[in-house]
Amino acid sequence: MAKTSVLALLSAIASVTAETYNVPANPTTSGQPFDSFVSYSIEFSSFPDFAGNLSHPNKYSYNLIKNIHALSNTNPIFRVGGNTQDFALYNASQTAALIGIVDPNRSPDYPTTITIGKAYFESYRTWPGVKFSHGFNMGLGGKTPEGWQTLVDTAPLACQALRHGNLYTWEYSNEPDLFTSGTYAPRPKGWNETAMVDEWLKGTDEIRSQVKRYCPEIDVKFIAPSNAGANNALKATKMWAAGLDKRNDIEMFSTHNYIDGAKVPGVTLQGTLMNHTRTKQSVNNHITEYNAIFNTTKSPPPLIFGETNSLYNQGRPGLSNTFGAALWGVNFNMYSASVGFKRVHMHQGTNYRYQAWQPITTDLDTVGTKAPYYASIAVAYMTRRVGRTPVSISNIPLSADVAESAYAAHYSSRGRNQLARLMVVNMHGYNTTVDGAGLEPLPTPPKRTVRNYKFHVEGVRDGVRASVYRLMANGSDAITGITYDGWSYNYDLDEGKGVRLRNVTIGEKVVVKGGQVEVDVADSSAVILSFGKGC
């Protein structure tokens, strides 16, 4: 196989030279993400597929988790929940972890009639060192006797499974702001924020009571009810005003986000996902809501995305499973970090089009690592601490702001901010397959534009050689052949463990001259510059 030389690619095509951008020397601490910033949300009905059980743990999933740890020094945290947590009922006599029935009229992608048995909770013990939140059923729990009994019966099982240092937090309900919407809404029209808060307090009181009885050493704290968005029937502002945190037990403010819908006409890679303007607008809406609730609060709960991904309704083939979606994921995560989000849980489920990996082989998909996983890899490295010191992320506005973005990661040393890393995400589209579907290659691929980026890096001395790490694929429409710094995490190579490909050039350096550094970045790719030892 011929060697794919990144340097040869960059020198073979005329570069587009940009202006010089200034990297801020004093980033705000609001852009300082938590450890485990790169995290995941797993659909409740898919969790046994992703994690396995004690006798058959999913080693492939765990390999991918350990890859994130290798780059960030922390494991991802997993939120187990989603729509199906509000369909799940407990059956004490059931030996199977989960039995689900798919009703295509409700959703073709996940079961909407679900029973779980005691074996379901084994999945929380299969990944050593990983923490989880468990999602309890409010949709049925606050509506039917069977739903309430499920809450009573499963709270002890969940706490016993999560009392081994693997508890993240608790969650009761998924997107209650949508409970009065759609054909299968679990609440009638007129159900309001006051009624919702009454139900939530009753349910969380029961969880606390059961945990105190069976796991008294656990201090029960909750994610705030994770709403789908600020424009739905119920508003988070009114929930908090109605006494949501009356018990003073909410430790994180969680919200959900999808840029657009998988079935919405006009959704494209370039116009929707590979579009920094759309991403900023979408993320900033949540910042506005958060500030409206906590603008007078001295110590507001940390802000997280408890569930997010590219396109709701589980994504669209040719969009959500492409390298362009991975570039969107990098940009979305980094911009979220820069404006104050402390953690981002990327949602996935078995057979979902936007998933980071398919955990098992089904009749719809084969086990394997998907393009969006590589976004997690790049973000994990960009947000890692420098030694024991957290980094602060800043967004650097660029002139072509719609289709490109840049970010800086600073850390504090001896009372002075220092630049650790610099990232450029070039989202200008470059496609090499017929119809951009990632399947059939074009007979003659078009020329790939390379853009030159220059940055004034205050505080970095001349002569410093920055290491260059590239996130690359054949184009934004690629669904395979993706690498980060020459590493592939394909299932077929070593069951998801990182394998360094010999046909990809690595070890590139750029030098700081006159207080500036410059780097060439091909369209539909991203690059990280790392300054100094330990960065």
Catalytic positions, written as ranges: 193, 307
Query: What is the DSSP pairing of strand 450-457 with strand 516-522?
Result: antiparallel
DSSP of 500-522: E-TTB----EEE-BTTEEEEEEE
Quick check: 308 and 332 in contact, CB under 8 A? yes
Q: Which runs of E-coded beta strand occur in 122-165?
A: 132-136
Structure tokens at 463: 């002569």
Tell me the sheet residues that pair with 149.
none
* Inter-helix orientation angle 145-161/193-214, to 10°: 50
For residue 134, the Cα-to-chain-centroid distance in whole angstroms is: 17
| Residue with the two structure tokens 């510059």 | 529
DSSP 270: I
- Rounded CA-CA distance 356/307 in Å is 14
Radius of gyration of the chain (CA): 23
Contacts of 109 (CB under 8 A, 6+ apart): 313, 314, 349, 351, 352
Using the CB atoms, write b or e for 350-367: b if 16+ within 10 Å.
bbbbbbbbbbbeeeebeb
Q: Give the end-to-end CA distance of the chain in Å, rounded to a whole number.
A: 33
DSSP of 378-406: HHHHHT--BTTBPPEEEEE--TTTTTEEE
| Residue with the two structure tokens 């610099």 | 422
| Residue with the two structure tokens 């070593």 | 494
Contacts of 159 (CB under 8 A, 6+ apart): 167, 210, 211, 214, 215, 218
